[in-house]
Structure formats: C-alpha cells, structure tokens
Amino acid sequence: MSLLQSTQFRPDPSTSTTRRALLRAWPEFQNPAAWLVALILVIMPLIANGFFLIEIFATTLILGVIALSLMFLAGYGGMVSLMQLTIAGFAGYMVAVFGVSGNANISLGWPWWLATPMALALATLFGTLGGALAVRTEGIYTIMITLAIGAAFYYFTNQNWAIFNGHTGINTVATPHFWGVDWRTDIAFYYVTLGVAAICYFAVQYVSRAPFGLALQGVRDNPRRMAALGFNPNAHRIAAYAFAAFIAALGGVLQVWNYRQISPGSVSVGACIDVLIIAVVGGITRPIGPFIGALIFVLLRTFALDVLIKLGLDGNRFRLLIGLGFLAIVFWSSDGVIGLWERWRRRNASSTQRSGGGRHG
C-alpha cells in the first residue's frame, strides 16, 4: 500500500518522531515490494533485450513522466490539463531546433548541453504561460483551454516550415555523446530514462508533502478558504503549472532522443488525449499511477495488432481492442488500475485482520 502514496495526507501513528518524519516523506522505504520493483527496474537490461528495454520499458517511463505531470496537476491541483504532451513536444522541437539535426537549414547546431537546458527553460516558460491562461477557469473550461492550446500548436507545427519543418518534421536529431559513451545506445539510454523518471517521481512525491504541495491540495479542495487564510490560489496554481511543465519537458527531451526525430504526429490532438488516457487508466490519485497506465498503454499499442492476428481476426481493427481495454478498466474502476489494486488490498486486509481496515479516508 505504501508504495502508492495517496494524494490524501495520512499520518502513521506507530513510529518515533524522526523516523516518522522520514517515513512520512518517503513511505516506500519501508515497503519490500517497492524495493523489489526498484531492483527489477535497475537490473532490467539483464532481463530484457533491446526491443523490450527501449520500445516497452523506456517508452513506458517516458510516457509515464509526461503523464506524471498531468497527474500532478489533476491529482494535487484539481486541474486537468490536456497540453502536457504539447509542452513535451515543444521541448522536443526545441532540442531539435537548437541542437544538431539532419535539417541543417533549421537547426542551430548548439551542443546538447546548451540546447537541452534551453529547451527545458523555453518549454517551462511555455507551460507556465499556458497555465496562466488556464488558471482563470475551472473544470471543463480548463480542459477546453488546454486542449485548444494543444490543437493550435499541432496545426501550427503542421503548417510552419521556417521553424518546425511542417508535416515532415525534423529528422536525424543528434543525441548526447560524452564521457566516451553514446547515451543513445539501448542500455545507457534506458538508465538515463530510468534516472529521470525516478527523479521526477520522487520530486512529485516530495512536493506533494512539502508546504507548497499541501497548500496546493488546499487550493484544490477549497480555494475560497485558502484565499481567506492569506494564500494566493492563482499563484499556487500557476506555480503548479510551471513545475508540471518542467517535468513534461524532461519527458519531451527524452522522447526526441528516443526517436531521433519529431514531427507534428508526435504532438497531435490524439496524442494529447493518449496522455490523459494513460493518467486516467493508471489512476490520478498517486504518482505511480501514470507509470502503470503508460505500461498498459504501451503494451496494448504494441501488441494489439499481433494478438488480433494470432486469434485469426482482422488485424485492421486493433484500435478497437485498445479502446475496449481502456473501457474495461475505466468501467470497473473509476480511479484506474490503482483504485482496483487498492480495493483488492483493502478487501484482503479486512478479511485477515480487522485493524487493517478503515485506513483509507
């Protein structure tokens, strides 16, 4: 259970104060399952070959990071932003534009250590500005504004040839190469991705329990009361957008390094909604949710066609299988896979020991 830190603040009454403070901040340290998952992720290159390592696990981690930024906004801030993938794509485009690529007439050819921070900074700025627009609205209007930003960016990249190279996009984007290591070789890239995903995961978890995160959850639950207490709800929300934009930008940089190319298809409206699906399927109540959702999404996307053909059905209908899979998950659990698992744990706990029940508020 404690692998999955809930968005709801939960004190644990059983330990000494310093230990309790530590455990409150990092509850996964006391859970053997978390250590096991971490161990498996670290030794993954020994288990999985290139395809599973990159196309499944690294891709899962990248999409998970992007969806994590949405989970942060939606879970802690109550703001469903559909532009997280757009921010990621913007960062990817900026890496391609400032860095080195096959389109010499567009790319400025900066080294990666200059181009990447520039891309992250610009994407964070872009996300913050988008957030500043969106915070004036709530609920469905936030969704609409952020979707509009995503759609506008998609059509802009599709038709702008001076910077974004239109529908063709930017090909052969250079990847970092330093300390004698080509960081785009499968194993090195996997570890880069894993490192970034871990940092983002712990950062989100830390922020969610830092004063800023608590205030943000307060803003989510009752903005008027928070304003009366002297907090500035809009400033908190914009800061949350900035933080989420930075995370999404990291995911975007990894994504462009992964495929070595970027084109409008990467930032299409469909892809924006994919990120929402990932977050919802995984569950937006805990930071681990987006990663679980991303794994399910990537597995379905990759193998649905093969499964249908194996079953002797028309492979052309594989999108249907993907849709049905998501429908099933959302139908049986409105808070995603995390919710399913939580309920299962709770049922187990209450049947074995009475005291285990009722923990979840």
Partner 1 sequence: MLKSSLGLIALSSLLLSGTAFAQEKIKVGVTATLEGTYTVLGEDGMRGHQTALNVLGKKIGDKELEFIVASTDATPDSAVRAVRKLIEQDKVQILLSPLSGDEGIAVKNFAKTHPELTFVNAASGAQETTYVDPAPNFFRYNMDGAQWQVGLGKYAYETKGYRKIATVGEDYSFIYTQVFGLVLEFCGAGGQVTNRQWVPLGTKDFASVIAALPDDVDAIYLGLGGADAVNFLNQYQQAGGKAHLMGGSIMIDQTILSSKGSAKNALIGTIAASGQADTWEDPGWQKFVKAYQDSFPESKRFPSPSLLATNYYGSTMALILALRQVNGDLSNNQAKLKDALAKIEIDAPNGKIKLDANRQAIGTNFVTEVVDDGKGALFSKVVKVIPNVNQTLGYDPAVFAKIGLPSRTVPECKKY
Three-state DSSP class for residue 45: helix
Burial category of 22 from C-beta neighbours within 10 Å (exposed 0-12, middle 13-18, buried 19 and up)? middle
Residues that bind partner 1 (CB under 8 A): 49-52, 54-55, 102, 155, 158-159, 161, 166-169, 171-172, 259-266, 268, 302, 305, 309, 315-316, 318-319
> What residues pair up with 181 in beta bridges, in sequence order?
178
Q: Which is nearer to partner 1, 302 or 350 (CB)?
A: 302
Residues contacting 124, CB < 8 A, separation 6+? 242, 245, 246, 249
Q: Which is nearer to partner 1, 176 or 287 (CB)?
A: 176
Cβ 127 to partner 1 shortest distance, Å: 22
> What residues pair up with 178 in beta bridges, in sequence order?
181
Cβ 259 to partner 1 shortest distance, Å: 6
Q: Which is nearer to partner 1, 4 or 58 (CB)?
A: 58
Q: Which is nearer to partner 1, 268 or 285 (CB)?
A: 268
**107, 149, 47, 93: which is closest to 264 by C-alpha?**
93
d(CA 37, CA 349): 22
211: its two tokens:
């004063």
Q: Which is nearer to partner 1, 97 or 239 (CB)?
A: 97
Cβ 349 to partner 1 shortest distance, Å: 39
Q: Do residues 282 and 337 touch, judged by C-beta distance below 8 A?
A: yes
Dihedrals φ, ψ of 319, to 5°?
-60, -35
Cβ 178 to partner 1 shortest distance, Å: 19
Residues contacting 305, CB < 8 A, separation 6+? 315, 318
Cβ 112 to partner 1 shortest distance, Å: 18
